[in-house]
Every structure is written in C-alpha cells, then in structure tokens.
Amino acid sequence: MKLIPLALSLILILFLVACEQPSGNAPADHTGINGGVAHKPGFNDPMKNCVSCHGSDLRGGSAGVSCFACHAKKWS
C-alpha cells in the first residue's frame, strides 16, 4: 500500500502550487490582494503602472483582463 502516501503528497503539492497564486492567471508579481483578487502593486495609479499590459484605456490590452470587468470606476 505505497500508493496512499504517494497520493497524499500529490494532493499536498497541488494544494501548495494552487496557493502560490491568489486567483485567476495573474502573474506572480501581482502580489497586491484586493478582495481576493491579485492586483499588481501600484494599483492606485493605474494610468501609470498598469496601462503597459492592461491597455491604454485599461480595457484589456495584451493582458486581456479589463479593469472595468470588476470596477465601475472609470480611470482617466
């Protein structure tokens, strides 16, 4: 019965990997957690810190995640 410890370690590894990233597919540098959602630090000044990947209008860009999917607030 060596399979049971093996299965338990696999579950533990999966659990640890899943906990490394707080949510979604956010990159590892998105360490600022707001309401369980990973935000890159500097989120209070998105027009400076987020536009390079989330688009000049913050509606997706190369990251493909729009800030307005979750926020009604419009940045400008």
Shortest distance (Å) from residue 8 CB to ligand HEC: 28
CB-based contacts of 69, cutoff 8 Å, min separation 6: none
The residue at minimum Cβ distance from ligand HEC is: 24
- The contact mask relative to ligand HEC for 1-40 (x = CB under 6 A, - = no) is ----------------------xxxxx--x---xx-xxxx
According to the 3-state scheme, what is the secondary structure of 10-73?
Answer: HHHHHHHHHHHCCCCCCCCCCCEEECCEEECCCCCCHHHHCHHHHCCCCCCHHHCCCHHHCCCC
Tell whether residue 57 is a contact of ligand HEC (CB under 6 A).
no
Contacts with ligand HEC by CB under 6 A lie at 23-27, 30, 34-35, 37-40, 42-44, 46, 49-50, 52-54, 58, 63-65, 67, 69-71
